[in-house]
Amino acid sequence: MRDDELRPIEIGATTLARDQVVAVARDGAPVALGGAAEKNVARARQHVEALAGASEATYGVSTGFGALAVRHIPADRRMDLQRSLIRSHAAGAGPAVESEVVRALMLLRLRTLATGHTGVRPGTAAALAAMLNAGITPVVHEHGSLGCSGDLAPLAAVALALMGEGEVLDSSGRRAPAGQALNRAGIEPVTLAEKEGLALTNGTDGMLGMLVLAAADLRGLLDVADLTAAMSVEALLGTDRAFAADLQALRPHPGQAVSARRMHAALAGSEIVASHRGPECTRVQDAYSLRCAPQVHGAARDTLDHAELVADRELAAAVDNPVVLADGRVESNGNFHGAPLAYVLDFLAIPIADVAGIAERRTDRMLDIARSHGLPAFLAADPGVDSGHMIAQYTQAAVVSELKRLAVPGSVDSIPSSAMQEDHVSMGWGCARKLRRAVDGLRTVLAVELLTAARALDFRAPLRPAPVTTAVRDVLRTRVDGPGPDRHLAPEIASAEELIASGAVLGAVAEHLSRAPAS
């Protein structure tokens, strides 16, 4: 669907849904300010303008910022004040962050402006919406946010572009001066007035945007993990009995029940599983990496549920300092502190590392002739001449090790700033950046398990896998051939990752698992 065919998402004074954030950030869905939001923005602006003309100083309206808030700024210097704020705060460094992250933070800042608690002019909010709809994405650098007082440098880069300064990516993805891109899109650069510089920069929007995007990705990856785990159980001649509903009900964690139900359904009808159900099978229980997969995957699901709850609360929030209240008061507050987001951004990195770790252990079992129950060494076509998936597991292990490092919390750190005025910060932006890398790492680990388990199932022929696991293997075989002499493995890992990321793997089994939903 083309962008111009998408129905605009109305930005009102209430909350946004997580899927709307993803639609704007990734799919280019257009946005429109709602009528109620426009009224709220205009009403709040009237309060700010009244305070701007008062003799009493108001932070952010007629004073400096941070540790410089003690200075009263005369009326004829306040536009200079706002311009200087944005230019000085657009102090990011390092590589540019992904366009989807920038679009998410632009959308979330727009939503806060629409609440009528920031005091911007209606035209400023409309210009930000126009930038989103025109596909103009400011260049935002990796470093510059401490996750407190807002994602300052990232949001300042957006505000700078709104002023017609700095660099952007245009709708075709080319770098261009912001002024030129705005001009081509018919958008007039904004000259900021009182309070608007703070209103555009004092939010946790980058952290929140990355949390929403990571949560969407992780929800799908946990569904994939259930499938690759089921394939590994099947390939290793494991049992599905441990996933029975009555056993899972003895420990009533909701995520565990979901993963066990999905794995049990994925193994239904398997000739391979049926082949060793009789009394001749001497094994009474499987290794932990097989038997306990629902417990690990389920705990990750429950952790994700909590993180999404925090995200939903933030999506209903108005984060700014100071804020304009309904009665016209402008009050300082600490709602910009990123701790609620930083904690769950850190928290999600832990189950990601663990889900990846248990997947790597299953993969390793399939490659080891001492534990694989009859599979060839390293799943090689001619072991000794061929190495099979030996080094694919090395890649998995390297990624898992990296994921363990990324699971070290960033939110426990704090470096004071602004001459000790901002003496405790969340570091939530950094937590979000490492979470994005962790999500990518989990996808790679699951891709290797997918490749390995599918190859192992092929070696179990003529016994046929379950319909669900067959469907997963078959979609992989559209891109990656079955067992044979050693081939260049890196492209095959990349292809498996692409099939996971595109939704093709989950799409192949959606109908089969309709009675075992993911949530």
3-state secondary structure of 36: helix
Rounded mean pLDDT, 71-90: 84
Distance CA 250, CA 398 (A): 36
| pLDDT at site 181 | 97
Instruction: Tell me what percent of the residues of the chain surpass a pLDDT of 90.
Output: 79
65 compared with 146, residue with greater pLDDT: 146
pLDDT band for position 419 (cuts 50, 70, 90): confident
> Quick one: pLDDT at residue 517?
45
**pLDDT at position 69, please?**
63
Say if residues 476 and 496 touch (Cβ distance below 8 Å).
yes
Q: What is the pLDDT of residues 291-326, one digit of tens each?
A: 999 999 999 999 999 999 999 999 999 999 889 998
More confident residue, 5 or 59: 59
pLDDT at 516 over 70: no
The model's confidence at residue 55, banded by pLDDT at 50, 70 and 90, is low
Mean pLDDT of 455-475: 97
- 437 pLDDT band, cuts 50/70/90, is very high
**Residue with more model confidence, 517 or 374:** 374
Q: Is 111 left (phi over 0), alpha (psi -120 to 50) or beta?
A: alpha
Residue 59 annotated in active site = yes
- The mean pLDDT of 155-165, rounded to a whole number, is 97
Residue-wise pLDDT tens digits, 2-51: 444 568 999 986 779 999 999 999 999 999 999 989 999 999 999 888 87
C-alpha triplet 496, 517, 226: angle, nearest 5° = 40
Q: Assess if CATH 1.10.275.10 describes domain 3-203.
A: yes
Decide if 395 contacts 490 (C-beta within 8 A): no
Correct CATH for 210-509 of 3.40.50.720, 1.20.200.10, 2.40.10.480, 3.30.160.110: 1.20.200.10
The predicted pLDDT at position 32 comes to 95
Residue position matching structure tokens 């639609």: 23
Q: What DSSP assignment string belongs to 202-226?
A: SS-HHHHHHHHHHHHHHHHHHHHHH
Strand, coil or helix: 11: strand
Residue 503 has pLDDT above 70, yes or no: yes
SS3 353: helix
Mark residue 321 as left, alpha or beta (left: phi above 0; alpha: psi -120 to 50; beta: remaining). beta
Q: Name the residue ranges covered by the structural domains of the chain.
A: 3-203, 210-509
DSSP string across 449-485:
HHHHHHHHHHHTTTS---HHHHHHHHHHHTTS--S-S
pLDDT score at 2? 44
pLDDT (0 to 100) of residue 518: 44
Helix, coil or strand: residue 411: coil
Give the whole-angstrom CA distance, residue 362 versus residue 382: 22
Tell me whether the omega of the peptide bond preceding residue 517 falls within 30 degrees of 0, making it cis. no
Average per-residue pLDDT for the chain: 92
Helices and strands in the chain, H and E counts: 20, 9
For the chain, the 3-state helix, strand and coil shares in percent, each to the nearest 5, are 55, 5, 35
Strand pairing report for 9-11 and 31-33: parallel
Residue 23, pLDDT score: 96
| pTM of model > 0.85 | yes
| Two domains, one topology: 3-203 and 210-509 | no
Q: Which residues contact 487 (CB under 8 A, 6 or more apart)?
A: 481
Q: CB–CB of 208/108 below 8 Å? A: yes
Measure the CA dihedral 194/21/347/302, to 10°. 140
- 74: confidence class by pLDDT, cuts 50, 70, 90: confident
**Over the stretch 182-235, which tens digit does the pLDDT of each residue have?**
999 999 999 999 889 989 999 999 999 999 999 999 999 999 999 999 999 999
Which spans in 368-420 are helix H? 390-406
